Amino acid sequence: MNTRLVSIIRKEFIQISRDPRTLILVLIIPVMQLFLLGYAATNDVRNVPLAVFDQDRGASARALLDAFRAADYFRLAYDVDSEADLRELIDRGLARAGLIIPAAYSQQLTSGESTSVAFILDGSDPTVAATALSAAQLIGQSLATDLMTERLERRGASLRLQLPLEVRTQVWYNPDLEQAYFMVPGVIGMILFALTSILTATAIVRERERGTIEQLIVTPIRSWELVVGKLLPYVVLALLNTIEVLVIGAWWFGVPVRGNIGLILGVSAIFLMSSLGIGLLASTIANTQQEAMLSVWMLLLPSLFLSGFFFPLEAMPLVLQWISYAMPLRYYLVIIRSLMLKGVGLQAIQGDVIALALFGVAIMGAAAARFRKRLD
C-alpha cells in the first residue's frame, strides 16, 4: 500500500470532518436544489389569474365561464364592469389574462348566430402566455363543438357527431409528464459537476493560500499522489451525493430508477473525470479560493444552459446546439435520463459514454500536465 497516498487521503478526510459546516452544506445543497427544481422550476402553467368583463350575464355566458373554471389553467380572479378596469388589472399584473363577453352573446347564440368573445393576454412572460393562449383556444373550440352538436340535435338531426380524425397519444417513460422526472436526473448531473469541480479546485488552492503547499512540495510525494489523494475524498462525497439525490428523487418525487444502479454509478464516475479535471485545471490557474470558485462558475453557467439542463437542446439555435457538443454535462444528462427513466442498457448510450470518457481523459490530461509540484 502506498503510504504517501494513504496519508494524504486520511489527512483530507480529517480536514473534511473538522469543517462540519462545509460538510453539511455539501449534503444539504443537493436536497435544496432538488426541491427547488422539482417544484419551483416547473413549466406547468396553472391558475393564471383571469379578469372577466361580462356584458351579457346570460346563461350562455355563465356556461362559458364554467368551462374556463373547469380547466385549472385559469382562476376567475376578477369580475369587472368596464374595459378600463380590465386594462388596469392587466397593467398592474394582478390579472394575466382578460375575457370580454359582448352584451349580445347569449342572445346571438340562442338565435343561432355566430358570435365571438375577446381574450386578452399579458405576453410579458412568453411561457405563461403561450400555455394560456392554447388553453383558451382549446376551451373555446370544445365549447363551440358542444354548441354545434346541441344545435344539430335541436333541429332533430339526432346523428352522433363523429370527428373524422382522432390522434391517440401515448406518452412513454413519463405518462403524467411530471417535471420532476426531467429535473431529478438533471440535478444529479449538476451536483456532480458543480460541487466536485468547486470542491476540488478550492481544496487544492487552499493549500496554496495557506502556504501548506510549500511544506508538501518539499516532501518526496509525487504529483500524481498529491492530486489523486486530494481528489479521491471528493469523489467519495460526490458519489454519496448521487445516491442521496437518487434516493430522495425516487422516494419523494416518485422518479423511477429503471436502469442498473451499478451502471449509473459507473457512468457517473466517468463523468467525474471531467468535473474533477476542470476543478484541477482551475486550481492550476487560480491563486485564491475566490478565483478558483469564479473560474469554475464561469464554466458552470454555459454548461448548465447549453447541456439541456433547463432548456431543451432541440429548441436552441443551431450554433448553440453545436457548442453544446463541447459540454461534457450534455452527454451525461442524456445518459442519466435514459438510464433512470428508460432503463436502457449500455448499448443504447454507448456513443455518449465514449464521448464522455474522451472528454474526461482530455481534461484530466490537460490538468495533470499543468499541475506542477512547484511554487512557480
Partner 1 sequence: MNALIDAQNLHKAFGSVQAVRGVSLTVRAGEAYGLVGPDGAGKTTTMRLLVGALRADQGQIQVGGFTLGRETEQARAHIGYLAQRFSLYGDLSVAENLTFFGSIRGLRGPALAGRAATLLKFVGLHGFEARRADQLSGGMKQKLGLACALIHEPKILLLDEPTGGVDPVTRQDFWQLLIRVLAEGTAVIVSTPYMDEAARCTRLGFMYQGRVLVEGAPRELTASMQGRVLELAAHPKDAARAVTAADPAVEDVLTFGDRFHVRVRETAGPLARLPAALAQAGVNVERLRAIPPSLEDVFISLLAAQTTPAQA
DSSP structure class, residue 37: I
- Angle separating helix axes 20-35 and 179-209, nearest 10 degrees: 160
Distance from C-alpha of 194 to C-alpha of 197, rounded to nearest angstrom = 5
Return the closest-CA partner of residue 62 out of 115, 113, 101.
101
| Residue 125 vs 209, nearer CB to partner 1 | 209
CB of residue 217 to partner 1, shortest distance in Å: 5
| Residue 76 vs 216, nearer CB to partner 1 | 216
CB of residue 6 to partner 1, shortest distance in Å: 7
Residue 374, C-beta contacts closer than 8 angstroms, at least 6 positions apart: 217
| Residue 268 vs 283, nearer CB to partner 1 | 283
CB of residue 210 to partner 1, shortest distance in Å: 7
| Site residues for partner 1 per CB under 8 A | 3-4, 6-8, 10-11, 14-15, 18-19, 210-222, 374-376
CB of residue 225 to partner 1, shortest distance in Å: 9
Distance from C-alpha of 8 to C-alpha of 230, rounded to nearest angstrom = 7
Return the closest-CA partner of residue 112 out of 151, 158, 165, 73.
151
| Residue 8 vs 37, nearer CB to partner 1 | 8
CB of residue 224 to partner 1, shortest distance in Å: 12
Helix (H) or strand (E) holding 10: helix 3-18
Residue 68 one-letter amino acid: F
CB of residue 369 to partner 1, shortest distance in Å: 16
In sign, the C-alpha dihedral spanning 14, 18, 20, 23 is negative
| Residue 3 vs 114, nearer CB to partner 1 | 3
Name residue, grid cell 457548442.
Answer: 323
Distance from C-alpha of 27 to C-alpha of 240, rounded to nearest angstrom = 9
| Residue 208 vs 337, nearer CB to partner 1 | 208
Residue 144 one-letter amino acid: A
| Residue 6 vs 32, nearer CB to partner 1 | 6
Instruction: Kindly tell me the burial class for residue 96, based on how many C-beta atoms sit within 10 Å of its own C-beta (0-12, 13-18, 19 or more).
Output: buried
Residue 355 one-letter amino acid: A
- Side-chain-side CA neighbours of 168 within 13 Å: the count stands at 1
Q: What share of the chain is helix, strand, coil (3-state, %, to 5)?
A: 65, 5, 25
Return the closest-CA partner of residue 79 out of 95, 59, 103, 58.
95
CB of residue 227 to partner 1, shortest distance in Å: 14
CB of residue 373 to partner 1, shortest distance in Å: 9
Q: Is 82 helix (H, G, I), strand (E, B) or coil?
A: coil
| Residue 19 vs 79, nearer CB to partner 1 | 19
| Residue 85 vs 207, nearer CB to partner 1 | 207
- For residues 312 and 318, is the Cβ–Cβ distance under 8 A? no
In sign, the C-alpha dihedral spanning 336, 341, 343, 347 is negative
CB of residue 374 to partner 1, shortest distance in Å: 6
| Residue 18 vs 92, nearer CB to partner 1 | 18
